[in-house]
Amino acid sequence: MILYHGSKQIIESPEIRIQKYNKDFYFGFYCTLFLEQAIRWAVRFDGIGYISEYLYTPDNNLKIKRFPEMSEEWLDFIVACRLGHPHAYDIVEGPMANDTIFNYIQNFADGKISREAFWALAKFKRPTHQISFHTARALTTLSFREGKEVRNEK
């Protein structure tokens, strides 16, 4: 399976970095099946970025959590991760909480909207996907293939 990572540089050797803000599935190295989504990640700040492409070889010995779609469990998992609660998975895969969805998640986590209101608001305009690697062992499932510069053509 081919996965893409969009960022400000080509990343031949992925690593897990602790960031200022918690992400959907906590700290990890994030990729996607969708090239267009990776391009959006890469160019989001100044219109120029890089796509790193990897061959992903699954390892059944790893602890993997998959969310096939947005669900109550997915919502609770993301809220916990965004609030700084770590998990024990090597890899987590599922839909992405984009910027708009993130605001709804934050409002739900803060008690400003109900669970029902969240689901009424949380409708993606396009499908999203993310797979995050949370341990050094999980990163060994990725083999770098190539990197290239991308630009926002809009």
User: For 100-128, how does the pLDDT look when each residue is reduced to its tens digit (9 = 90+)?
Assistant: 677 888 888 889 999 888 888 776 656 78
| Radius of gyration, CA atoms only, the chain | 16
Segments in the chain forming alpha helices (H) = 35-43, 72-82, 99-109, 115-121, 136-139
Instruction: Tell me the two tokens of residue 150.
Output: 């991308």
Cα distances (Å, whole numbers) of residue 79 to 26, 34, 82, 122? 10, 24, 5, 14
pTM greater than 0.85 (yes/no): yes
What does the buried/exposed string (b/e) look like for 5-28 if buried means 16 or more CB atoms within 10 Å of the residue's CB?
bbbeebbeebebeeeeebbbbbbb
64 HSE (CA, 13 A, CB side)? 16
Q: Is residue 38 scored above 90 in pLDDT? A: yes
Q: What value does the mean pLDDT take over residues 61-79? A: 94
12: helix, coil or strand? coil
